[in-house]
Structure formats: structure tokens, C-alpha cells
Amino acid sequence: MMIEFTYAVYIVISIAMTIWVARTLSKNGQVFLVDSFDGNETLAESVNHLLVVGFYLLNLGYILLALKTHKNIETLRVCIEFLSGQIGVVLLVLGALHLLNIIAIAKWRNRAVHNKSLHAEAASK
């Protein structure tokens, strides 16, 4: 019975963290995306939504794949150790996905800023 409890706690905590992180990144990243796409709010909203969907798919897929153990979870201590390890890895995956998103968006932004300066320079000649 302890293993089912452990799995349920793992799923609830992992999914709750995934939803919270996705919403936080989406809400706070919108301004950055608008700037990265030269003020095009429609494009920024669309990309933001696609990033959130991809984030959910990757993270929830990992959470479900990681829902497996061969440990014999019979005590609260083993339950806590298993949960901390599994949730710790979920947090690392969330952080890595966030970092990859920031790197990609920063590249888009740098390209947009560079193109904008080239257009401004060409227009001034």
C-alpha cells in the first residue's frame, strides 16, 4: 500500500510543480518574447503558447516515464528518500528546459536586435 501512496504523492507534487513553473514562465516571459520578436505581440503570444505546450509534453512525459521503482517502499523513510530523489530530478529537468528556452529566446532576440540595427543603418544612408 505504501508504494501506491508514494506514487500518488510523486504524481501530485510533480504535476503541480510543472503547472506552476509553466504558468510562471509563460506569464513573466511574455514581455521578453514581445521584445524578442520586435514588438509583434501576436507572434510572441503564439510562440509562448507553443513553448508552454512543449514544456508540458516533455516534462509530463518524463514524470510518467520516471514513475517506476524496484525499491521495496515499506517505510516512511524510504518513501521520503524515493520522493526526494524523483522530485529532485523533476526539478532539474524543469530547470534544464527553462535554460534551453531562455537560450533559444535570447538567440532570437539577439538576431532581432541585430536585424533592427541593420535596417536602421540602411535607412539612414
Is pTM beyond 0.85? Reply is no
CA 86 to chain CA centroid, nearest Å: 17
pLDDT of residue 109: 76
Amino acid, res. 95:
G
- The C-alpha cell that represents 3 in the structure block: 508504494
* DSSP code for 22: H
The end-to-end CA distance of the chain, in Å, is 76
Q: What is the helix (H) or strand (E) element at residue 76, kind and residue range?
A: helix 76-124
pLDDT of residue 30: 87
User: Is 112's pLDDT higher than 80?
Assistant: no
Domain limits for position 104: 2-124
CA 87 to chain CA centroid, nearest Å: 15
Place of cell 513553448: 51
- The C-alpha cell that represents 38 in the structure block: 520586435
Contact 63, 89 (CB under 8 A): no
Q: Confidence band (pLDDT; 50, 70, 90) for 25?
A: confident
Contact 1, 31 (CB under 8 A): no
pLDDT of residue 46: 93
| Number of domains composing the chain | 1
pLDDT of residue 53: 92
Mean pLDDT of 28-47: 86
Q: At what angle do helices 41-65 and 2-36 cross, to 10 degrees?
A: 160
